[in-house]
Amino acid sequence: MSVADKIREVKGQLPAHVELVAVSKTKPPEVIMEAYHAGQRVFGENKAQELAAKAACLPADIRWHFIGHLQTNKVRMVVPLVAVIQSVDSLKLLKTIDREAREAGRVIPCLLEFRIAAEETKYGLTPEEGESLLHSEEFRQMRHVQIAGVMGMATFTGDMEQVRGEFRALRNIFTHLKTRFFPSDPRFREISMGMSADYPIAMEEGSTMIRLGTTLFSERIDTNR
Ligand SMILES: *Cc1c(COP(=O)(O)O)cnc(C)c1O
């Protein structure tokens, strides 16, 4: 099946409240354009350099989501290019985004990334860290970031009950933070969870944003999952 057909097929299955982020990391511009011509406008990248190279040669109405671990020294490069940064995993990173966004005259929607997987390798905040970030005086002073929700990655396992439990934990974190910090802020609304192997379960557990690479673009040659 072509990339365009796959995009149309997946989009046709999604309820209106679930957004598709087409994860285009490692994919060349021609392949991204196939998805673009099928109507896809939201793409996810996980490396600053790669994002910059692609953004420079692809249409300006693409909304790029940064979904990878972001080093503070790369923030300046990505801030002018992104619609959303999904992978905020420290107060230090958020402070840097706020500062660079001020320089660029922007307000950047950000998701807080939580570590819900059992694997040690995955980045993300603990629930306590997320809460103390939102409590901090430093966060309250920020004017150039806007917290739009949460993001997480489940364990890479065939045990779908474990995966479901991890997604449920992320939804619970979302609900808790919503109640505690954003009760009257409609912009705090996203639960970004679900990848090619597990997005149907993520949607059952309340995902509002799925991030699909392999399913849309076939096999990735990449060890950096
Ligand atoms: C690569 C990646 C995805 C997409 O993974 P697939 O299994 O190819 O769908 C989603 N989210 C993040 C953070 C990724 O790095």
Residues β-bridged to residue 210: 20
Helix (H, G, I), strand (E, B) or coil at 23: strand
Residues β-bridged to residue 88: 112
- Of all protein residues, the one whose alpha carbon is nearest to atom 6 of ligand 1 is 213
- Mean pLDDT score, 185-203: 98
pLDDT digits (tens, 9 = 90+) for 207-223: 999 999 999 998 544 44
User: What span, in angstroms and rounded, lies between the C-alpha atoms of 144 and 202?
Assistant: 30
- Of all protein residues, the one whose alpha carbon is nearest to atom 11 of ligand 1 is 211
Locus of tokens 């979302």: 174
As for ligand 1, residues whose beta carbon falls within 6 Å of it are 23, 25, 46, 67-68, 153, 195-197, 211-215, 220, 225
pLDDT bucket at 119, cuts 50 / 70 / 90: confident
User: What span, in angstroms and rounded, lies between the C-alpha atoms of 148 and 40?
Assistant: 21
> Is residue 225's pLDDT more than 50?
no
Say what the pTM is: 0.95
pLDDT digits (tens, 9 = 90+) for 138-190: 999 999 999 999 999 999 999 999 999 999 999 999 999 999 999 999 999 99
Domains in the chain with CATH codes = 3-217 (3.20.20.10)
